[in-house]
Amino acid sequence: MNFIKKHLKGFILSLVIAIIALLINKILPIDIIGTALIALVLGMVLNPLIKNDKYQEKINFTSKYILRIGIILAGITLSFNQVFEVGKYALILLTAIFITSFTIGYIFHKTLNINWRLTSLLSVSQAICGGTAVATLGPVIEAKDHEIAFAISSTFIFDLLTVILFPVIGVLLNMTDQTFGLWVGTSINDTSSVVAAGYAFSEISGALATIVKLTRTLFIVPIVLVFSYINIKSNLKTNKEYKQKKVKLRSIFPWFILGFILFTGIRSLNILTAETIDFISELSKFLMATALAAIGLKTSFKQVKGVGIKPMIATLTINLAAALVSLIILYIML
């Protein structure tokens, strides 16, 4: 009872913000911004009203555990069969994007002295799936709330530009439906932006881009496991208290990722109706929006602004480099 009392107010406030964000997103003519980002921004707007630590504690449950439930349910959007459907071209492109994103992120970490957790969030956003990847990886590597908010917000700015510019570039370069679909599916971060840009070019490119984008989502699993290990190594080097305590695998292993795999497996069995899959998918998005509203409530615009200009340069460089590498490889292959 005390547990419910402690966290209920924070959950209800986050839930109300997510509902408002959902309604705002439905009013907009095109789903480019997405409910999750709107919820995050609304939460940040309300942050000055609930700055006291007592209320912040009430939000922690929603920002951590409701987020994980949303991520677990997100596994329903992808089947293992889709990975094979996209073919060898998409997998080659995805590998190149991963290498490009994380290499550039590491270079910025070293040369501009940007926090490795922040550059990792910026890299994983481009390499995998925008806000979902950032929200998944952030807690695993113990990133701060304002770093998570910054990574999600900065990624959105790039996505907004690509939705407008990519179809125009596709026409100017006389791309085929297949080429454009593969390029958009590997270069744009957020699912709603991929769908908007892909279908703006053609139905075929839109469908292909969506499948490629969803396939990228599956790579959340190995990335989270790898970065979970990197975070432990980093803590062992810098944190004296961490060195002294015995680190157990079961205490640091991101168990929620097994839930993600489970739901992907259920989808792969083809035992659910399309309506059920759509319902679980929408519920997943709404729960993640609720969690991001909670993260927004814990984060001020001042904190995000305080991250500085260097990470913004890193974001643009990582995104542009990935888009360019993807385009070059496509023209070599096709």
Please state whether the predicted TM-score (pTM) of the whole model is above 0.85.
no
> Taking the alpha carbons of 47, 49, 51, 56 in that order, is the dihedral positive or negative?
negative
Closest CA to 195 of 211, 206, 208, 187: 206
Q: What is the pLDDT of residue 100?
A: 92
Range of the domain at 76: 2-333
Checking if the pLDDT of 29 tops 90, the result is: no
The string of DSSP codes covering 72-111 is: HHHGGG--HHHHHHTHHHHHHHHHHHHHHHHHHHHHHHHH
Total structural domains within the chain: 1
Closest CA to 153 of 229, 64, 279, 45: 45
pLDDT digits (tens, 9 = 90+) for 159-192: 777 877 888 899 999 998 888 988 998 888 877 7
- Give percent of the chain above pLDDT 70: 86
Angle 300-217-39 from CA coordinates, rounded to 5°:
25
pLDDT digits (tens, 9 = 90+) for 120-150: 999 998 888 777 788 888 888 888 888 888 8
Checking if the pLDDT of 244 tops 60, the result is: no
The residue written with tokens 């100017």 in the block is 172
Give mean pLDDT, residues 201-210: 82
Checking if the pLDDT of 256 tops 80, the result is: no
Task: Work out the mean pLDDT of the chain and round it to a whole number.
Answer: 81
The residue written with tokens 């769908």 in the block is 195
Closest CA to 17 of 36, 35, 43, 51: 43
Q: What is the pLDDT of residue 172?
A: 92
In the structure encoding, which two tokens stand for residue 310, read together?
A: 């260097």
